[in-house]
Amino acid sequence: MKVYSDPVELSAHGTRRDDLLAVARFDAPVTVGADARAAMQRTADIVQHFVESDQPVYGVTTGFGSLASVVIPAERTAELQLALLRSHAAGMGPEVEREVVRGLMFLRARSLCLGYSGVRPEVADGLVALLNAGITPVVHEYGSLGASGDLAPLSHVAMVLVGEGVARDASGALISGGDALTAARLEPVVLRAKEGLALINGTDGMLGMLCIAIDDLTRLLQTADIAAAMTVEGLLGTDRAFAADLQALRPQLGQALSAANLRRILAGSPIVASHRLDDGRVQDAYSLRCTPQVHGAARDTVDHAVTVAERELVSAIDNPMILPDGRVESCGNFHGAPVGYVLDFLAIAVADVGALSERRTDRMLDASRSYGLPPFLSPDAGVNSGMMIAHYTQAAMVSENRRLAVPASVDTMSTSAMQEDHVSMGWNAARKLRAGIDNLARIIAVEITCAARAIDLRDPLLPGPGTAAALAAVRAEVPGAGPDRWLSPELAIVEQLVRSGAVLDAVTEAIGELV
């Protein structure tokens, strides 16, 4: 695990994906910059003026949603904010992962620090203090529709900030929000007007999960190129289809990068060279030959997601917005459509990359299409089933990923007595994408496990330096083909090698960085 000693500073100008990942995944410390404090104080003063003048302002001196016409007396505005958190902390279902909650907290503090939410610096300080103390509010799977922000998830966070709700401390123990603050020697935040609303009116959960997904997919798509190259060797395929001049005829950036990886990984392969001449096959199957086109399209989808995420990371997400000239304007920046769409796009790409991996795996197991490999990669097929059921497991996850690729962002619903009559479902899109990415890591692991066996079975032909490094990483943990043995633990080991980046690291150490 990486260790960060230098803190991530929140400014009035947004943040970066690397900072979000450092905090969410690696517990980097966080501070609030002086420019952010000044920006927050300016609009907090504007909000206080509205409260003192009894001027009707949505969410400040009025109710919320369809109750926006209900005016709240000045002496009850703080009560309004606390009641909002309690009523909106209505999540249900399993707990959300720690890294997601930390990302959610960091990004909400980030948005507040831009200075358009009308909150005091003390509110952002409170969120930062929770992060630095390792306190993780319990957030549930269900509760966000992705418009008006991730309301329920953020409300569960805010409840701990004010000394209520439930959290896990730095050791993972489940305790009350009040006890968590006491143990960390933190004081509950006492909310003022607008501050409860500002704490929950953001797309921070779905954005955090998007940034985490981009990080995961960047590595997984490189590892998918490695898996494909191993399968090309295992099936006595050719690298000619990946030639740079052929790829340049279709100038898609992701395709070019994936093809470049395949060429580099397969460079110097005695297995590939062994049948370069006098091979009666005219061309490989699509699942091999079209790998750069599919993997490349997925890369291009990730690049588009990066563009959207980086715009969001410098965006002010709240409603209403408190502008420096004193205006308070309702807007729709809390709507998660921009993020929800790309989360769904990524789920489609994830499903297709997994489907291609499964097709390559299937060819290695079928003796009629594997060019000399034994059935199911078992030297003693019949008594032994080899990798037959590993492929079934892989196929089951491919099928699930196809279901998960059905867009959530088209499934709007009407809520809040028809006031909030179109929602993004971006949170749901993010949750199913996480499941799809988990499956993709396992799908690739099955292909690598099978391809490693296939390469072994080509002995005395040797793999190239790139694939040999991947094979060595696998063989250091998992033995090769032989009599049937319990496969599940071995597949789990290779899955971890994929997730941790160990396979990717082994290859890049041998042949240099992939693109």
3-state SS record for 371-402: CCCCHHHCCCECCECCCHHHHHHHHHHHHHHH
Rounded (5°) CA angle 31-37-39: 135
- Residue 50 is given by DSSP the state H
What is the C-alpha separation between 292 and 280, in angstroms, rounded?
24
Lookup result for tokens 């949603």? 65
Alpha carbon 380 to chain centroid, angstroms: 42
Residues 6+ apart with CB under 8 A from 48: 192, 193
What is the C-alpha separation between 216 and 221, in angstroms, rounded?
9
58 is a catalytic site residue? yes
Residues 6+ apart with CB under 8 A from 263: 239, 242, 243, 244
Q: Which of 148, 87, 90, 161 is closest to 119 using CA atoms?
A: 161
- The amino acid sitting at 297 is A
Residues 6+ apart with CB under 8 A from 34: none
Q: Which residues of 110-135 are buried (b: 16+ CB within 10 A; e: fewer)?
A: bbbbbbbbbbbbbbbbbbbbbbbbbb
Lookup result for tokens 């004193």? 326
Report yes or no: 268 and 309 within 8 Å, Cβ to Cβ. no
What is the C-alpha separation between 306 and 299, in angstroms, rounded?
10
Catalytic-labelled residue, pool 58, 286, 371, 392: 58
What is the C-alpha separation between 457 and 360, in angstroms, rounded?
17
* Strand pairing report for 92-95 and 136-137: unpaired
Report yes or no: 64 and 197 within 8 Å, Cβ to Cβ. yes
How far apart are the two ends of the chain, measured CA to CA in Å? 23
Task: Tell the burial category of 268 from Cβ atoms under 10 Å away from its Cβ (0-12, 13-18, 19+).
Answer: middle
What residues act catalytically? 58
